């Protein structure tokens, strides 16, 4: 009996070439991906939020402000209240912007000051809408114009809720902030 040799017609050769090419390509691509993920250096890709966070940092302010008049709301604070005290005429703040601000924070119940940078030579910068601050700020500063001074009356649900913040802010505190928007930084991520 004679041995039969398999026939290698063109279609079988073509399929074999496709399969081998597929495996080689997959292996090469996987190697490149692994190399990119494990290599050190400044060429690592960074997401836009991380780049914005790195470039959105507090800064020196050109001005110090006088402490604003303490405001104590009458009645219960049940919702976020936004009041423009001085209008602005600059760029409008939107979610994702790196905003630079001065603030003066007091307890709504007794008007006691707990934190401020109005009278300090620094300004506070953060990415609006990124959850870096209490929700009352993320919601309350949207739509503010550069140069505007706005009062925010913030219910505890949009502040620190049932969590005390040291001795200065008791749990379930409603807060009042006077905020002046000094500017919107270009973070290079737009």
Instruction: Tell me the pLDDT tens digit for each residue of 7-37.
Output: 667 667 667 666 656 555 555 555 554 545 5
Provide the number of structural domains found in the chain. Answer: 2
Q: How far, in whole angstroms, is CA 138 from its chain's centroid? A: 9
Beta strand extents in the chain (DSSP E only):
59-60, 81-86, 98-107, 113-116, 122-127, 149-154, 175-185
Q: Are residues 87 and 23 located together in one domain of the fold?
A: no
With respect to residue 190, please indicate whether it lies within any of the assigned structural domains: no
Q: Which two tokens stand for residue 64?
A: 């110090």
What's the rounded Cα separation, in Å, for the pair 56 and 128?
10
With respect to residue 134, please indicate whether it lies within any of the assigned structural domains: yes
Q: Are residues 27 and 83 located together in one domain of the fold?
A: no
Average pLDDT over residues 143-168: 97
Q: Domain range spanning residue 120?
A: 55-185
Q: What is the pTM of this model?
A: 0.70
Q: What is the pLDDT of residue 5?
A: 61
- Cβ pair 125, 106 in contact under 8 A: no
With respect to residue 80, please indicate whether it lies within any of the assigned structural domains: yes
Q: Which two tokens stand for residue 4?
A: 């039969």
What's the rounded Cα separation, in Å, for the pair 83 and 81?
7
Q: Are residues 41 and 70 located together in one domain of the fold?
A: no
- Give the count of beta carbons closer than 10 Å to the beta carbon of residue 107: 18
């Amino acid at each position: 009996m004679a041995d039969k040799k398999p026939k290698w017609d063109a279609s079988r050769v073509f399929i074999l070439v496709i399969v081998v090419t597929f495996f080689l390509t997959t292996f090469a691509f996987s190697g490149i991906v692994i190399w990119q993920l494990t290599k050190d250096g400044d060429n690592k890709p960074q997401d836009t939020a991380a780049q914005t966070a790195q470039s959105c940092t507090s800064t020196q302010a050109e001005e110090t402000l006088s402490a604003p008049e303490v405001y104590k709301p009458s009645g219960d604070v049940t919702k976020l209240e936004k009041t423009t005290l001085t209008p602005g005429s600059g760029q409008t703040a939107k979610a994702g912007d790196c905003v630079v601000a001065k603030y003066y924070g007091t307890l709504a119940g007794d008007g006691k000051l707990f934190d401020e940078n109005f009278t300090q030579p620094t300004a506070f910068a953060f990415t609006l809408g990124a959850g870096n601050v209490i929700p009352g700020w993320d919601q309350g500063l949207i739509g503010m114009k550069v140069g505007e001074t706005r009062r925010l009356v913030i219910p505890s649900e949009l502040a620190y809720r049932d969590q005390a913040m040291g001795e200065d802010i008791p749990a379930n505190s409603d807060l009042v902030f006077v905020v002046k928007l000094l500017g919107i930084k270009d973070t290079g991520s737009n």
